Amino acid sequence: MVSLQTLRSSRALSVAVSYLPRLNSVLNVIAKYRLDEFMHGQPGARRLGLLLLPYRLAWIFSSQASTHKNVRLRKAMEELGPIYIKFGQLLSTRRDFLDIELADELQSLQDNVPPFSSPSIHQLIEESLGVTAESIFSSLDSEPFACASIAQVYRATLHTGEEVVIKVVRPGIEEVVSADIKLLKWIASLIEARTDLGKKLHPVEIVNDYEKIIHDELDLLSEAANTSQLKRNFENSPALYVPKVYWDYCSKRIMVMERIHGIPVADVDALNAQNTDLKKLAETGVDIFFTQVFDHNFFHADMHPGNIFVSQETPENPKYIAIDCAIIGSLTKDDQEYLAKNLLALFRREYRKVAELHVSCGWVPRDTKIHEFESAIRSVCEPIFEKPLKEISFANLLIQLFRTASRFDMEVQPSLVLLQKTLLNVEGLGRQLYPDLDLWTTALPYLENWNKRRLNPFTLLGRIQENIPNWIDQLPQLPQLFIDAATESKQLGEINASLKSQQKQIMQNTQRQNRKFRFLGTALVAAAAFSLIPGLHEAMINLPLATVSLALAGVYLLCFRR
């Protein structure tokens, strides 16, 4: 008989064979950069070493061994290509589990990809939109001005004179993504099953989240819809501008969008040259983040410096410009409310309330001991709060909090991971612009105002008013609902009565059986006495029939009647 372990091994082997060409490339890169060092002390490390031995021989004189293992991992992901680069960037957001230095190294992954030249932009437009490029654009650059792993971007001008950019998905990228995702899932399942880090990090869950994100990035109609929504949320806002989408020229593989003119947010020298108020710019970025999360519940979750620009107008009252809205985050109403309450409680050092909120919102199990969780939170937060507020990283405090909660079996929601990543970007960017940025001073008044608005009687009345049309729509259905409820109640009553009757019958049958056993036991005892006690047999024979009958009737009544 084939064992379960043998079946699992053969299944894993067959999966590995199906990915052999790509797996061979991955193993070669792992050997080149000595990445098996991350497995030292883990179950299966020796097996991996034997598997890598032929590849290690090819790289025996490699100079990579002298560099730090975190740097080697980052270089390996860059060499493996765009899918692994983006996966490494996503992995860097799990600072609640990863070493901080490793997370920083992965976050610095650069997405430098050479452009594709075939098919041409003219061919792609005709294939995707069914019309020639000349019928839409008066001018169109044949070479891209920006290239990334998923898409590249061209400058163009519409016949109406409006300057636009055309974003196109790389040909064949879907097949590459699909193959690499399958391989990543297989590798992640092995790591999760066979290493301690895997059990904590949940790499399979991370790959599944990554799969959703990467497929959203492949669909430019989804990105266009996100861009339009974000633009509508900040319509006429002095803080953020989002470029216009030209829907008539969009498809799953092509998006045409207004061309923006601004200064890259990381170009501090250029910002200083136009006398930009950097303190206000940094604080505005924090305000935009909290507005997106708590007012709109729709936040740009890829706010790295490459996607953020600053308008050249009104430098004394600077305005952001956001592009690349492929990755958008949102929270459930409950998570949104509990997150705000958690942050407020943290600001006020109300650690017991933080612990209770984690339990009540289901982030940690219901049976968590509140006093133990509270003590763990206090031990993390108190040393941090001893520093001046401007030196405290708000994002890192949240990471430490999530890391502590993970010891109490906290289930990290994908939306919270995106939020954490976005907050890291916002805070890092803000302090790059203005090193003395005190995010706490900026955030606390916002959260307090949000809480006041939430509890305001007029806000509550507004919510009731929003629901009134739904209630009115349901009014005609109420009589039938009452009838259905009454019918169901009657049926339940009948079912309960039937169950009670059946239960009573079962109890009576059980009692009858018990009495039979008692009668049988009595009979056996009598039979034993009849045969063993000297003279009893003769005495019984000489008893009158009426006496014997009466005795038997008494035993029957004792055993079979109440």
Q: Is residue 216 flagged as an active site residue?
A: no
Residue with tokens 């041409």: 120
Which residues, in sequence order, are CB contacts of 213 under 8 Å at separation 6+? 90, 327
Active-site option among 302, 324, 335, 438: 302
The whole-angstrom distance between residue 449's C-alpha and the CA centroid of its chain comes to: 28
E-strand stretches of 159-270: 163-169, 240-241, 254-258, 262-264
Element (H, E) at 137: strand 137-140
DSSP symbol at 93: T
The whole-angstrom distance between residue 259's C-alpha and the CA centroid of its chain comes to: 33
Peptide bond into 305 cis (omega under 30): no
Element (H, E) at 303: none
Distance CA 378, CA 211 (A): 36
E-strand stretches of 260-311: 262-264, 299-300, 308-311
Decide if 53 contacts 95 (C-beta within 8 A): no
Distance CA 70, CA 263 (A): 32
Decide if 434 contacts 279 (C-beta within 8 A): yes
Distance CA 542, CA 536 (A): 10
Distance CA 80, CA 22 (A): 10
Own/partner pairs, 9-16, CB within 8 angstroms, 24+ separation: 12/186, 12/190, 15/186, 16/186
Which residues, in sequence order, are CB contacts of 192 under 8 Å at separation 6+? 198, 199, 201, 202, 203, 204
φ, ψ of residue 349 in degrees (nearest 5): 60, 35
> In terms of DSSP H, where are the helices of 39-135?
45-58, 69-80, 82-91, 100-107, 121-129
Q: Report which residue type is found at 450.
A: W
Active site residues: 302
